Structure 1
């Protein structure tokens, strides 16, 4: 009984630490500027106000939400398509230098993303893609080392007899991938899609570097621009953060079964 009490106490503390930042976002989003200084951060302001959220929705912020949704959808679609093809080639097709090329590609996962930001920006500048959708999407839409590694390991875990039976029936590599392998890869594809959606929606550093206009500005950059040289509009920043948080909460509510499955799958692989 003592061990159970200690276990649940530790879980309760961990849950509180995890949820508390979101509680602060919710409470601060419905406070006025005066209530920010007159009440403790963890206490609600009274009476609560919805003006902060209304002000954010009345401006250009919905446009930035749409930009983020478009970017997330395109990156997720590109990841699923190109990552699947690359992973299948590394897992099942035989060609010279396959394993060496794969491990060299995977080794780039050990390089911090901040290290590659300046070279990527210089490449995009030479291609005249700065502040364009092409420049925003190009570095990640064709797949990532992590996604290719995850899908390759899943492909290698599938029975080889399925492919051999399909070849006997006259199927080629593309037919085998589309009609035999992909239906079996739904758990892995769901995992990759969830990871890509979350990482794309929360992406900040690359959009901050490559974009400068409102046509390509995303949520994270828009929220960061609320901080200027004079001060920080915390109530507006929290209102924007609350708006940005709602889609992710909806994703969790409707796809929590797949999110838990993705955690299990990534842990096993």
Structure 2
């Protein structure tokens, strides 16, 4: 992907067996980022198709951030409640969450789309995040299992100090769950960033079109006889960079946080 992005489109198939491009160029990045004119893009071998990369990057960042932050917090609340609270129907409710793991997402696609359309939320960020904003079964299951491993003595000590259930959750359980929270946050971020089918159905206008959908539209704008592979691979390369930065920032912190030690 990176090699194709750095190759002159006019020589793409001439040196396709070389790991390092013989005709190295940054023209593909310039035209995808909108830094070159239409004539310059065509001269570089491009199709002339346009891609407002910064707009679609912003849309993807908004979509991913909202999903990760709200979903992680709400699922942590649900997981803690299922792990620590005693109420009638708790096991049945947890079994319902677990059974949802066996339902393929494609089965819920059309019902969710019909509901979002009925609510008038097509081509809005609210419609994009609606089906997964508050909960995914795996996230609830994952966090519940970790909350069960937290020593009860820690929470009982906080309870004796006068802390209520809400305070214990925010000031004891969540700080001790930093590693799992970062883990599930990164997992959900990768999933939301690469999501394609649902954003394709709901966010078709430019104001809500995410980067994965935009790359598909960009390829469709190319002539059928000669798809703009260099432009597509350039956009794909740029789309991976935010996730790589996220991993570089939180990767070491994730590894350190997983060294769970209980009371300090």
Instruction: State the TM-score bracket (shorter-chain normalisation).
Output: 0.7 to 0.9
Between the aligned partners of 2:79 and 2:130, the Cα distance in structure 1 is 19
Matched residues, number: 241
Between the aligned partners of 1:41 and 1:117, the Cα distance in structure 2 is 41
In the TM superposition, 1:173-252 aligns within 5 A as: 173-228=165-220, 230-231=224-225, 232-252=227-247
Moved more, 228-237 or 196-205: 228-237
Between the aligned partners of 1:44 and 1:186, the Cα distance in structure 2 is 41
2:12 is aligned to 36
Instruction: Please state whether the residue corresponding to 1:214 is helix, strand or coil.
Output: coil
Between the aligned partners of 1:201 and 1:262, the Cα distance in structure 2 is 24
Residue 260 of structure 1, CA deviation: 5.4
2:8, 2:23 within 8 Å by CA — same for their partners in 1? Answer: no
**TM-score (structure 1 length as normaliser):** 0.83
CA RMSD in angstroms comes to: 2.1
Stretches of structure 2 that go unaligned for 5 or more consecutive residues are: 35-50
What whole-Å deviation, never above 9, does each CA across 1:35-88 have from its counterpart, x for those lacking one?
A: 122221544433312111111111511110111111111111112210111111
1:109 is aligned to 101
Between the aligned partners of 2:158 and 2:59, the Cα distance in structure 1 is 42
Stretches of structure 1 that go unaligned for 5 or more consecutive residues are: 1-24
Q: Does 1:72 find its partner at 2:67?
A: no
2:86 is aligned to 94
Instruction: Please state whether the residue corresponding to 2:61 is helix, strand or coil.
Output: helix
Greater percentage in helix: 1
Q: Does 1:118 find its partner at 2:110?
A: yes
Q: Does 1:56 find its partner at 2:32?
A: yes
2:11, 2:23 within 8 Å by CA — same for their partners in 1? Answer: no
What whole-Å deviation, never above 9, does each CA across 1:12-56 have from its counterpart, x for those lacking one?
A: xxxxxxxxxxxxx11100222221222215444333121111111
1:128 is aligned to 120
In the TM superposition, 1:2-21 aligns within 5 A as: none
2:38 is aligned to none
Between the aligned partners of 1:42 and 1:207, the Cα distance in structure 2 is 36
1:191, 1:262 within 8 Å by CA — same for their partners in 2? Answer: no
2:249 is matched with which residue: 237, 245, 254? Answer: 254
Instruction: Please state whether the residue corresponding to 2:86 is helix, strand or coil.
Output: coil
| Greater than 3 Å deviation, 4+ residue runs | 41-45, 258-265
Instruction: Please state whether the residue corresponding to 2:13 is helix, strand or coil.
Output: helix
